[in-house]
Amino acid sequence: MSWQDYQKWEQMIDGTNCPMCQDIHMPENRHSFLVKELAQSYVRLPKNQDPYGLVLVALKRHATELYELESQERDEFFKEVAKVSKAVKELFKPVKLYYGIFGARCPHFHCHIIPHYISDDPYAPLALNQKKVDLKAEEYTEILRNLRALLAD
Amino acid sequence: MSWQDYQKWEQMIDGTNCPMCQDIHMPENRHSFLVKELAQSYVRLPKNQDPYGLVLVALKRHATELYELESQERDEFFKEVAKVSKAVKELFKPVKLYYGIFGARCPHFHCHIIPHYISDDPYAPLALNQKKVDLKAEEYTEILRNLRALLAD
C-alpha cells in the first residue's frame, strides 16, 4: 500500500491510520524486533536482514517529513541515529553506511541504517524489500544482544 | 570510482583526495550548480535532474559518517536539510520526499533530497545516476531562482 491508493495514503500521512504508530513500540511485530527505546525513537532490527545489519531508527511520534519535526526533536533524533550508526559500524564492519529516510510503504518518519560491504556492487540501485533474508532465531538474539551492549550508556 | 579501488577509496574517506572537497563550493562544477551557501552546508542543484527536483545538501567540511559530526554541526546540518526539504516540497509538490545520505561514488557527507511524485512507482528500487536527464539552461536558472527565493530568510 502506498500513494497509489491515495485515500489510504492520506490516512497514513495524517496519522489516522498509520501502521507504524500501531506497532513500532512492540518488542516484536510482524516486521522487526525492538532493539532499544531512546528518547525520541525506537531502534528496531528488521526480520528481513537484506542487507545484513540493516537497522531502523523510527521517530516515536507521528510525522512524515523532516521539516515537520521540532528543533529539539530533530536534534535528538539525529543524535540517536548517529549513536546507532556507530554501533552498526562497530558490529557489522561495513565499508560504508547509507542513511535513508524513505516512506513509500509507510511514511511514518524512520531512518534506515544500511550497511554496504566491500563485496557489494557500489553502483547497484538501492532495493530494500526486494529479497527476503530471514535469519535463525538465535542469530537475531545474538545481534540484539550485541547492539544493546553497544548502545548501553 | 568507489570502494572497489580500495586505495583511492581510502583517500576519499580520509579526505586527502576527496572530489567533493575540491569543487563543492563552486558556483558551477561538473555535476551541479550552487543554490546557496548555508552555515554548515552547500545546497546544490544536480545537473542530472533525475528525478526532477533532486537537490543536494553537502556538509562543508570533510566527514563521511554521521557519527563523525560534532553535536552543533549535526544539529545545524539537519536544520538546513529540513529548511531545504521544505523549499523542495513547496516548489516541486512531490507526494513524498526521500532523504538519502549514501556515498558510494563519493563518501563526503551529503544528503540527497529526492522528490517522489504521485505517478512514480513507489516500489521501484532507488536508482540515482542510472539515467541522465539534462534540462535547458533557462530551466536550471528558473529552479535556482525559485529555490533561492524560498530559502531567503
- Model confidence pLDDT, tens digit, residues B112-140: 999 999 999 999 999 888 899 999 999 99
Average pLDDT over residues B20-37: 97
Backbone angles phi, psi at A130, to 5 degrees: -95, -30
And the C-alpha cell for A59?
521517530
As a whole number, mean pLDDT of residues B29-37 equals 97
What pLDDT is attached to residue A98?
98
Residue A130 predicted with pLDDT over 90: no
Q: For chain A, what is the mean pLDDT?
A: 96
Phi, psi of A30 (to 5 degrees): -60, -30
The answer on pLDDT for B153 being more than 80 is no
Find all residues with CB under 8 Å of B9, minimum gap 6, and list them. A95, B1, B2, B3, B107
A123:B104 CB<8 A: yes
Mean pLDDT of B98-122: 96
Q: Which helix (H) or strand (E) holds A100?
A: strand A96-101
- The yes-or-no verdict on residue A153 having pLDDT over 80 is no
Q: Which residues of B touch A40 (CB under 8 A)?
A: none
pLDDT at A1 over 80: no
Q: Is A27 in CB contact (< 8 Å) with chain B?
A: no
CB contacts, 8 Å: A95 with chain B = 3, 9
Lowest pLDDT segment from A51-60, A105-114, A125-134: A125-134
A7 has a chain B CB within 8 A of its CB? no
Q: pLDDT band at residue A46, thresholds of 50, 70 and 90?
A: very high
Residue A40 backbone dihedrals phi, psi, to 5 degrees: -110, -5
pLDDT of residue A42: 98
What gap in Å lies between CA A41 and CA A50, rounded to an integer?
22
ipTM of the complex: 0.97
Q: What confidence score (pLDDT) does residue B87 get? A: 98
Q: Is residue A119 less than 8 Å (CB to CB) from chain B?
A: no
Question: Which of left, alpha, beta for B90 (phi over 0: left; psi -120 to 50: alpha)?
Answer: alpha
pLDDT tens by residue, A6-20 = 999 999 999 999 999
Residue of A65, A14, A52 lying closest to B82 (CA atoms)? A65
Band (B103; pLDDT cuts 50, 70, 90):
very high
pLDDT at B83 (0 to 100): 98
Tell me how close the Cα of A142 comes to any Cα of chain B, in angstroms: 24
CB contact under 8 A, B78 and A85: no
Q: Which string of DSSP letters, residue by residue, matches A36-63? A: EE-SSEEEEEESS-SSTT-EEEEESS--
**pLDDT greater than 90 at residue B147:** yes
Longest dimension (CA), chain A: 43
Whether residue B66 and residue A82 make contact (CB cut-off 8 A), yes or no, is yes
Q: Which of residues 53-112 of A touch B (CB under 8 A)?
A: 64-67, 69, 71, 74-75, 78-79, 81-83, 85-86, 89, 95-105, 107
Cβ within 8 Å, pair A66-B79: no
DSSP string over B34-72: EEEE-SSEEEEEESS-SSTT-EEEEESS---SGGGS-HH
Q: Compute the distance between CA of residue B122 and CA of residue B103 in angstroms, rounded to an integer.
A: 23
Confidence (pLDDT) at B27: 98
pLDDT computed for residue A66 by the predictor: 98
Measured between beta carbons, which residues in chain A are less than 8 angstroms from residue B125? 125-127, 130
How much is the pLDDT for B1?
72
Select the residue of A75, A101, A118 nearest B98 (Cβ to Cβ): A101
User: Residue B85: what pLDDT?
Assistant: 98
The sign of the torsion formed by the CA atoms of B136, B138, B141, B143 equals: negative
**What is the nearest CA distance from B70 to chain A, expressed in angstroms?**
10
**8 Å CB contact between B113 and B44:** no
**A50 touching chain B per CB within 8 A:** no
